[in-house]
């Protein structure tokens, strides 16, 4: 990864690019005079939070702005000295795939589900090159090998649903790179993938880039990924360029205050010092097993073990972080505890009282003691109801008079950093971070003993994520609530947890204090998970690399 | 983001306004029929049988000398009552059955298999059978037309229930100890309102049409009652002689159904942003 900034070979040059919403009366600026260059065979990472304009920049370059919503109002986009901003649709069409390509975030929807993947790659060649079928197939098979897919002839004949998410993303990359474009734009290409898969895909992209000499614009919100792959970094916010520089410049010595905040908000994978001793257990899970998919009408019952033989304890004033990739059963565990997934075997003890599987069978005072915050803040509040009604609902269910409930809700709002004026508003008037605070308020107003946070910060921007994590820690300090913190993000778990439980395929692989699990993992899977976490050698908070520990 | 309200969106296109005006006209016809008509629609006058339009009889007279114009005016009453009655019955039953099927897993297969059974019988045939069994009157016709519509509403409501019950805000309500009935009424059922408004307009239009079909076939409203279907049926034999006997009620019927469907489409575009964005 030597610096390529000295290379004067500019592939893409964006100058004063402005994009506005299409509106006669009131056009809003989306991109405000953005300028940057991409040099030959370098990786430029465009980093920013949601709404920063990073994806709009990519779409503007590819000519993919929705014509009825967004348009370029100024500036130039020069690709190989050709200005794309005033090129015709046909001209841009000819450049796509041949000179510039794009890889999208969601490999599940980027491929046509009813066409074999080999044909989908072949289509690109068919459209742009005049080449006999046999030669095209040869080319596709070679490309499938290059993206490290096993048995290319078999993959060629596969349909997308037969492939895993990582394999699909390899196909998408193959489609993007088959005609050896000069420029590849990757819009969050690994965000939807598990960390271990992400690591492989990042490695593959790096390898192919070297092989073909492609320039890459890599759009991401994840500074871990940036630390792994960037040659240069462009930080964006609110449609403007905040800062641009080489990887080391930005990560070690950011100039702009926002960049500093953005980078230092990234939680470190190395846990802080251990804190306290054991307290009384509030939740105990014993031999919990759950199988999905029961007795179909015809044929043999095919069960998928979502959880097998889970044992864990949660103590008062303790954060237990449950970490795992998709399909590890971590969310199922949460749903079993809260009573949203019936049909499990084993015992879940609240204090010493065994819990009924289904929430509706549990007495009200038991329900009250366990509360949950979900992942998606946009769907967690009923859009038709005022905040006051949503937040009071639980208290009123337990027989508290409305007036008293409202007072209590107002008190709790101050804990989550919102004031009582929000009560008359509707959910759509709040940002994701604010909504998640409201969901937290709704849960803690019940004064639960156990708070389950199911990926509660995963959908939030990194700076907001930091604030919500701090809020959680603050709530724990005030109320001594035990928190079951479910996440796929090892860094977040490392920072907030008193105990970490690593899950894989419905089993607990390893558990212990963060120090034990992260700094000295015993199991191979845990090691792989930690190694896959992008930028794990980087101490973002202090703008430096970690000194390799002797251990 | 200041988005235009759903009502302004709904009223933004002129075809919708025109359609609303047409439907309003039919409603006015029905409400003020005694004042708008020029004669008693049942009054037989053998002296003026099968006459063309004249100042006394604006659209002429039928084979019994009844005033066609007045009969069409009064016919709107039947059509609107059938439409409204069918709408009310099918929505009432459909919402309750759909909500039960969508919320309680145990009831789901029972209710839906019964609905599948009803749907397997052709709607007009079922209506004819029901009218044949219980005799011809406005109320039997309404029930006969409503029964085949119930499964459609049930399915719609059930599918919305199934998709909404996994929403985090519904699950949050469950974990907050909200009783099932309240979860259903407060958090889930409001999601069905917009689709039901849309579906409701189609049910209304199809009820008006099916009533006309049944009456035309002689299996609907008693023949002496002026309904658009009856008027067309009566005029059929004299169609070659006086086309207006079929033409005028036919035009009014077609326009009414067309405009109600147009309103349904406009309501769908205004209420369902996903579908509207696709256009």
Contact list in B for residue A442 (CB cut-off 8 A) is: 172, 176
Contact B169 A360 (CB under 8 A): no
- Please tell me the distance in Å from B186's CA to the nearest CA on chain A: 9
What is the tens place of the pLDDT at every residue in A510-527?
A: 999 988 898 889 999 999
Residue A239, φ and ψ in degrees, nearest 5? 80, 10
- Cα(B168)–Cα(A455) distance, integer angstroms: 13
CB under 8 Å to A420, separation ≥6 — which residues?
Answer: A410, A413, A414
Contact list in B for residue A367 (CB cut-off 8 A) is: 175-177
Instruction: Provide residues of A within 8 Å CB-CB of chain B.
Output: 338-340, 359-360, 364, 367-368, 370-372, 374-376, 379-385, 390, 393-394, 397-398, 439, 442, 446
ipTM: 0.80
What is the tens place of the pLDDT at every residue in B134-153?
A: 888 889 899 989 998 999 99
Q: How far is CA B39 from the centre of its chain?
A: 28
- Please tell me the distance in Å from A396's CA to the nearest CA on chain B: 9
What is the tens place of the pLDDT at every residue in B34-69?
A: 888 888 888 888 887 878 788 888 888 888 888 889
CB under 8 Å to A311, separation ≥6 — which residues?
Answer: A285, A286, A287, A288, A508
CB under 8 Å to A316, separation ≥6 — which residues?
Answer: A279, A280, A281, A282, A449, A480, A482
Pairing status of strand A344-350 against strand A353-354: antiparallel
Contact list in A for residue B179 (CB cut-off 8 A) is: 397
Contact A382 B187 (CB under 8 A): yes
Residue A347, φ and ψ in degrees, nearest 5? -130, 140
- Nearest chain A residue to B167 by CA: give it: A379
DSSP 3-state of B112: helix
Residues of B numbered 176-215 whose beta carbons fall under 8 angstroms of chain A's beta carbons: which are they?
176-180, 186-187, 190
Q: Would you state the pLDDT for residue B6?
A: 74
Contact B172 A398 (CB under 8 A): no
Across the beta sheet with A353-354, what order do the strands follow? A304-315, A281-292, A344-350, A353-354
> Which range (A48-57, A200-209, B215-224) has the least confidence?
B215-224
Contact B176 A338 (CB under 8 A): no
Contact B172 A439 (CB under 8 A): yes
Quick one: CA torsion of A100, A76, A227, A108, rounded to 10 degrees? -40
- Cα(B28)–Cα(A287) distance, integer angstroms: 71
pLDDT surpassing 70 at residue A7: no
Contact list in B for residue A339 (CB cut-off 8 A) is: 174-175
- Cα(A387)–Cα(A439) distance, integer angstroms: 10
How many beta carbons lie within 10 A of that of residue B64, not counting itself? Answer: 15
Name the pLDDT band for B98 (thresholds 50, 70, 90): very high
- Nearest chain B residue to A394 by CA: give it: B176
Q: Touching check for B173 and chain A: CB below 8 Å?
A: yes
- Nearest chain B residue to A452 by CA: give it: B175
Burial A448-460 (b: 16+ CB within 10 A, else e): bbbbbbbbbbebb
Contact A374 B187 (CB under 8 A): no
CB under 8 Å to A174, separation ≥6 — which residues?
Answer: A121, A140, A143, A144, A146, A147
- Cα(A292)–Cα(B154) distance, integer angstroms: 28
Q: Would you state the pLDDT for residue B4?
A: 61
Q: Chain-wide mean pLDDT for chain A?
A: 89
Tokens linked to A383? 């859009």
Q: Would you state the pLDDT for residue A303?
A: 66
Q: Are A265 and A489 in contact (CB under 8 A)?
A: no
Contact B177 A439 (CB under 8 A): no
Quick one: CA torsion of A535, A537, A540, A545, rounded to 10 degrees? -130
Contact B168 A359 (CB under 8 A): no
Q: Touching check for B46 and chain A: CB below 8 Å?
A: no
Name the pLDDT band for A293 (thresholds 50, 70, 90): low
- Cα(A10)–Cα(A454) distance, integer angstroms: 45
The reply to whether CATH 3.40.50.300 applies to domain B15-33+67-278 is no
Q: Would you state the pLDDT for residue A295?
A: 54
pLDDT surpassing 90 at residue B259: yes
First to last CA, chain B: 21
- Nearest chain B residue to A383 by CA: give it: B169
DSSP 3-state of A17: strand
What DSSP assignment string belongs to B129-161? HHHHHH-S-HHHHHHHHHHHHHHHHHHHHHHHH
- B234-240's contacts with Cβ under 8 Å and 24+ in sequence apart are B234/B62, B234/B63, B235/B62, B235/B63, B237/B63, B238/B50, B238/B62, B238/B63
Q: Which of B212, B209, B203, B214 is nearest to B125 (CA)?
A: B214
Q: Which of A180, A171, A46 is nearest to A110 (CA)?
A: A171
Name the pLDDT band for A335 (thresholds 50, 70, 90): very high
Cα-Cα-Cα-Cα dihedral sign, residues B165, B168, B173, B176: positive
- Nearest chain A residue to B164 by CA: give it: A379
Contact B177 A375 (CB under 8 A): no
Contact list in B for residue A338 (CB cut-off 8 A) is: 175
Name the pLDDT band for A208 (thresholds 50, 70, 90): very high
- Cα(A231)–Cα(A228) distance, integer angstroms: 9
- Please tell me the distance in Å from A339's CA to the nearest CA on chain B: 8
Contact A381 B167 (CB under 8 A): no
Q: How far is CA A108 from the centre of its chain?
A: 15
The arithmetic mean of pLDDT across residues A463-471, rounded, is 89
Q: Chain-wide mean pLDDT for chain B?
A: 87
Confidence (pTM): 0.82
How much of chain B exceeds pLDDT 70, in percent? 96
- Cα(B22)–Cα(B13) distance, integer angstroms: 15
CA-to-CA separations, A84 to A31, A89, A421, A540, in angstroms, rounded: 16, 9, 48, 37
Domains in chain A with CATH codes? 10-99+183-264 (3.40.50.300), 110-180 (no CATH), 281-291+302-532 (3.40.50.300)
Q: Would you state the pLDDT for residue A301?
A: 55
Name the pLDDT band for A549 (thresholds 50, 70, 90): low
- Please tell me the distance in Å from B261's CA to the nearest CA on chain A: 28
The arithmetic mean of pLDDT across residues B91-110, rounded, is 92
Rounded to a whole number of angstroms, the CA Rg of chain B reads 22
pLDDT surpassing 60 at residue B251: yes
What is the tens place of the pLDDT at every residue in B266-276?
A: 888 887 655 44
The arithmetic mean of pLDDT across residues A88-104, rounded, is 91
pLDDT surpassing 70 at residue A300: no
Q: Mutate one of B172, B183, B186, B192 to test the A interface: name it (highest A CB count within 10 A).
A: B172
Contact A394 B190 (CB under 8 A): no
Q: Are A259 and A250 in contact (CB under 8 A)?
A: yes
Q: Indicate the residue of B172, B177, B186 with minimum beta-carbon distance to A380.
A: B172
Helices (H), B138-222: 138-164, 168-175, 180-182, 193-217
Burial A369-388 (b: 16+ CB within 10 A, else e): bbbbbbbbbbbbbbeebbbb
What is the tens place of the pLDDT at every residue in A386-433?
A: 999 999 999 999 889 999 999 999 999 988 888 888 999 999 888 888
């Amino acid at each position: 990864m030597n610096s390529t900034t000295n290379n004067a070979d500019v592939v893409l040059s964006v100058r004063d690019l402005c994009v506005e919403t299409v509106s006669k009366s009131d056009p809003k600026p989306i991109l405000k005079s953005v300028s940057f260059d991409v040099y030959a065979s370098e990786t430029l990472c465009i980093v920013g939070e949601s709404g920063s304009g990073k994806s709009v920049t990519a779409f503007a370059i590819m000519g993919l702005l929705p014509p009825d919503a967004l348009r370029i109002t100024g500036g130039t986009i020069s690709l190989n000295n050709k200005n794309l901003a005033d090129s015709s649709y046909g001209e841009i069409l000819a450049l796509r795939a041949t000179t510039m390509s794009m890889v999208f975030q969601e490999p599940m929807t980027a491929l046509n589900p009813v066409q074999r993947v080999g044909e989908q790659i072949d289509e690109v060649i068919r459209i742009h090159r005049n080449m006999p079928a046999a030669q095209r197939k040869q080319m596709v098979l070679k490309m499938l090998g290059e993206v490290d897919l096993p048995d290319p002839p078999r993959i060629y004949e596969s349909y997308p649903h037969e492939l895993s998410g990582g394999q699909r993303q390899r196909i998408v990359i193959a489609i993007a790179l088959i005609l050896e474009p000069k420029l590849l734009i990757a819009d969050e290409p690994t965000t939807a993938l598990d960390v271990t898969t992400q690591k492989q895909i990042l490695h593959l992209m790096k390898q192919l880039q070297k092989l073909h000499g492609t320039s890459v614009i890599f759009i991401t919100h994840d500074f871990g990924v940036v630390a792994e792959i960037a040659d240069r970094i462009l930080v964006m916010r609110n449609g403007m360029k905040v800062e641009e520089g080489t990887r080391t410049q930005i990560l070690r010595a950011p100039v702009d205050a926002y960049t500093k905040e953005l980078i230092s908000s990234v939680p470190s994978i190395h846990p802080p010092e251990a804190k306290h001793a054991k307290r009384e257990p509030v939740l105990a899970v014993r031999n919990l097993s759950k199988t999905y998919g029961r007795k179909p009408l015809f044929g043999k019952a095919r069960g998928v073990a979502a959880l097998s033989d889970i044992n864990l304890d949660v103590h008062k004033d303790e954060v237990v972080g449950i970490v795992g990739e998709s399909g590890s059963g971590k969310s199922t565990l949460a749903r079993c505890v809260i009573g949203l997934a019936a049909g499990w075997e084993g015992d879940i003890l609240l204090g010493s009282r065994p819990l009924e599987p289904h929430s509706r069978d549990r007495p009200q005072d038991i329900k009250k003691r366990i509360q949950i915050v979900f992942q998606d803040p946009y769907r967690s509040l009923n859009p038709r109801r005022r905040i006051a009604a949503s937040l009071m609902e639980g208290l009123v269910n337990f027989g508290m008079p409305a007036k008293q409930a409202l007072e209590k809700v107002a008190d709790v709002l101050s804990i989550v950093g919102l004031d009582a004026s929000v009560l008359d508003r509707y959910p759509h008037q709040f940002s994701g971070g604010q909504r998640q605070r409201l969901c937290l308020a709704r849960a803690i107003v019940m004064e639960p003993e156990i708070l389950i946070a199911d990926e509660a910060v995963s959908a939030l921007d990194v700076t907001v994520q930091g604030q919500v994590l701090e809020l959680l820690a603050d709530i724990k300090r005030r109320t001594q609530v035990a928190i079951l913190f479910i996440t796929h993000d090892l860094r977040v778990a490392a920072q907030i947890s008193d105990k970490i439980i690593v899950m894989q395929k419905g089993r607990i692989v390893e558990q212990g204090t963060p120090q034990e699990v992260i700094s000295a993992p015993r199991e191979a899977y845990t090691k792989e998970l930690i190694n896959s976490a992008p930028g794990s050698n980087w101490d973002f908070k202090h703008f430096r690399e970690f000194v390799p520990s002797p251990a | 983001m200041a988005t235009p309200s759903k009502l302004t969106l709904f009223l933004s296109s002129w075809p919708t306004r025109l359609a609303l005006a047409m439907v309003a006209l039919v409603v006015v016809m029905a409400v003020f029929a005694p004042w708008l008509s020029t004669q008693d629609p049942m009054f037989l006058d053998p002296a003026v049988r099968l006459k063309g339009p004249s100042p006394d009889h604006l659209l002429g007279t039928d084979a019994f000398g009844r005033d066609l114009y007045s009969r069409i005016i009064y016919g709107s009453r039947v059509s609107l009552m059938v439409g409204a009655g069918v709408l009310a019955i099918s929505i009432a039953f459909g919402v309750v059955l759909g909500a039960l099927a969508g919320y309680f897993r145990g009831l789901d297969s029972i209710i839906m298999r019964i609905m599948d059974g009803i749907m397997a019988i052709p709607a007009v045939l079922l209506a004819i059978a029901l009218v044949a069994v219980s005799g011809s009157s406005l109320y039997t016709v309404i029930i006969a037309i409503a029964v085949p519509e119930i499964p459609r509403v049930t399915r719609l409501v059930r599918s919305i229930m199934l998709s909404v019950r996994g929403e985090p805000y519904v699950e949050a309500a469950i974990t907050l100890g909200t009783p099932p009935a309240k979860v259903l009424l407060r958090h889930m059922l409001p999601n069905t309102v917009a689709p039901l408004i849309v579906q409701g307009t189609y049910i209304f239009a199809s009820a008006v049409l099916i009533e006309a079909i049944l009456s035309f076939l002689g299996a609907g409203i008693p023949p002496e009652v002026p309904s658009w279907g009856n008027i067309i049926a009566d005029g059929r034999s004299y169609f070659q002689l006086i086309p207006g006997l079929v033409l005028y009620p036919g035009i009014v019927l077609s326009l009414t159904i067309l405009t109600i469907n147009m309103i349904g489409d406009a309501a769908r575009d205004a209420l369902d942003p996903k579908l509207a964005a696709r256009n």
